[in-house]
Structure 1
Amino acid sequence: MLNLANNNFKGTIPDVFPSGCQLKALDLHGNFIEGEIPKSLANCSELEVLDLGHNELIVTVTTKGQEMELPKILTIFTYIDLSRNNFHGLIPAELGQLQALYILNLSCNALTGQIPPSLGNLKNLESLDLSWNNLRGRIPTQLQSLNFLSFLSLSFNQLVGMIPTGNQLQTFSADSHIGNEGLSGFLLTKNCSDKVADPKEDNHSNSGRKIDWTLLIAEIGLLTGIAVVVLPLVFSRRWRIRYYKCVDDIIIEIFPLAVSRKWFLWTAI
């Protein structure tokens, strides 16, 4: 076990791990380490604990959304915490080969691409945190096979499509997926179809709208009727006289004579 946590180490991790390395725990969090993870670390085939956390931790590990203190590193507690660094690029699909992994925390980085479907091979995984990255695409349905998963955070990425609904994935709240505008499903208030919007379709969305001919014909008929009645009244004096005479006859039949006289006076103005 090599524990160099909570120091002021700077620079890179030396690429000096020998073949047949028997290191089981490497704890370097709480430093100012930069650069890449050395490839020779792959020689440590018995490595169970790797903590390269955000280099400003206080002897804590972020797991299942909470920080907990580890008074000592347990060999049965297998986890990888690479959170709060500046890692770029894709999540390696080779992570799916770490069958004994219990906790994987890659949050608060600049990772891109899709979530590797190979993560569904981590049958013992209990905590998966990929939040606050730039991950794209759909959530792999292979994650449905993670039967022991008790914490999941995929929030604040650029994921799209329907949220898988199998097994453990149904037990998580919407907080596990917030910050992904393109996601939809039973966990979110937005209930979209499984089809991901195509920008080309949006550009031509107006062209695909159907015309309601019934409504259009009714509107044309209304405008035509108004034109037939109003235009003659405005432009034809003879039509106005005949119109007023018809109205007078109707009023005389309905209202008393006194009211009719008032109507005559009003129309004569």
Structure 2
Amino acid sequence: MSSLYSLQVFDAAENCLSGTIPDMFTTFTAMKVTEKMADYNYDRNHSFYYMVRIDIVAKGLMMDYTEFLSLVTCIDLSRNNFSGRIPESLTKLIGLRVLNLSRNHMIGKIPQEINQLLELESMDLSNNLFSGGIPPSMSSMNSLGALNLSYNNLSGPIPFAGHMSTFDDASTYYGNEHLCGPPLLKKCDSHELVPISNNVGDLRTWSPEVRQFWISAGLGFGIGFGGWYSVLAIKRKWNNAILKVMDFIAEILITRLQHLFPRRNR
């Protein structure tokens, strides 16, 4: 399996394979590019264009591919007895379109780097023993059209934002007792909704919304206070009007702070 540079469809589904999945995907060169016909030099004498058709389970359906086989990239290891974690090298296959690891005994967390699978259209990790949270990075997987994470041991809030908000069918997450938030009916505790970094002083750990808020607040206060002081120095009779405006601005800022940093249960 160490020299399958042109492999595009790896189907070992419905066997009795067991053990951990080897970290072998670094050599799957044909799955690591997105523009294969332009950027990848095929061995024309050994390509798989001789195939008449292939059947792939994608998006919950059996798909029959009879044309454009050069565009198909798939890994299907479903319905085996594999255990262990998702190999790191698998997350480097940026040209992969279909990933099916369902109905195994795989453990560990879904890797944060899963969002590097930029071309992925269908991912089925159901009926395993995956644990931990669903990576928020999955919100950027804009090509993903079908997702199944049901019947695992996943926990915490579902990152229902960005592209992940398109998966509004609760069955995507069924069988994970400790998941919460939409589209499930189970609500999250307030401290789970917005994770707050322990290192508040490090701007790199803040979300873009929080950074934008503080930059806007700093500029607003600086300009506002300077203008307010200048006006007071010139026309004292405007004192009351200016103070009312400042109160109004402070109220807006406090409301936004409460939205960004909801109070934790003690």
1:83-115 Cα deviation digits (max 9, x unpaired): 111110011122221111111111111000000
The structure 2 residue matched to 1:104, chosen from 96, 99, 105, is 99
Question: Residues 24, 92 of structure 1: CA spacing in aligned structure 2 closer, same or farther, 3 A cutoff?
Answer: closer
The structure 2 residue matched to 1:169, chosen from 155, 164, 169, is 164
Question: Residues 32, 144 of structure 1: CA spacing in aligned structure 2 closer, same or farther, 3 A cutoff?
Answer: closer
Q: Choose between structure 1 and 2 for higher RCO, CA contacts under 8 A separated by at least 6 residues.
A: 2
> Normalising by the residue count of structure 2, what TM-score does the alignment of the two structures yield?
0.56
Unaligned runs of 5+ in 2: 33-53, 193-266
| Aligned-residue offset at 1:192 | 2.6
| Aligned-residue offset at 1:157 | 0.3
CA contact (8 A) 1:155 1:178 kept: yes
Per the alignment, residue 45 of structure 1 pairs with 29
1:15-62 Cα deviation digits (max 9, x unpaired): 6x55xx5433455547857466677775453358xxxxxxxxxx6311
Per the alignment, residue 178 of structure 1 pairs with 174
Per the alignment, residue 111 of structure 2 pairs with 116
CA contact (8 A) 1:24 1:44 kept: yes
| Aligned-residue offset at 1:75 | 1.5
1:112-154 Cα deviation digits (max 9, x unpaired): 0000011011121111110000000000001011011111110
Give aligned-pair identity as a percent: 37
Aligned runs of 1:235-246 on 2, under 5 Å? none
Per the alignment, residue 155 of structure 2 pairs with 160
- Supply the RMSD in Å over aligned alpha carbons: 2.9
CA contact (8 A) 2:180 2:188 kept: yes
Amino acid of the structure 2 residue aligned with 1:24 = L
Per the alignment, residue 24 of structure 1 pairs with 7
The structure 2 residue matched to 1:125, chosen from 112, 117, 120, is 120
Query: Per the alignment, in what secondary structure is the counterpart of residue 94 of structure 1?
Result: helix
Per the alignment, residue 188 of structure 2 pairs with 192
Query: Per the alignment, in what secondary structure is the counterpart of residue 192 of structure 1?
Result: coil
CA contact (8 A) 1:162 1:194 kept: no
Question: Residues 192, 78 of structure 1: CA spacing in aligned structure 2 closer, same or farther, 3 A cutoff?
Answer: same
1:145-201 Cα deviation digits (max 9, x unpaired): 1011111110000000000021121111101000000000021111131657xxxxx
> Normalising by the residue count of structure 1, what TM-score does the alignment of the two structures yield?
0.56
Query: Per the alignment, in what secondary structure is the counterpart of residue 63 of structure 2?
Result: strand
Amino acid of the structure 1 residue aligned with 2:30 = E
Q: 2: distance between equivalents of 1:79 and 1:194?
A: 40
Query: Per the alignment, in what secondary structure is the counterpart of residue 75 of structure 1?
Result: helix
Amino acid of the structure 2 residue aligned with 1:110 = H
Query: Per the alignment, in what secondary structure is the counterpart of residue 95 of structure 2?
Result: coil
Amino acid of the structure 2 residue aligned with 1:70 = Y
Q: 2: distance between equivalents of 1:92 and 1:165?
A: 26
Q: 2: distance between equivalents of 1:28 and 1:105?
A: 9
Q: 2: distance between equivalents of 1:29 and 1:72?
A: 22
List structure 1 runs of 4+ shifted beyond 2 angstroms.
Answer: 21-48, 69-73
Aligned runs of 1:1-269 on 2, under 5 Å? 17-18=2-3, 22-25=5-8, 29=12, 32=15, 34=17, 42-46=26-30, 60-71=55-66, 74-172=69-167, 173-193=169-189
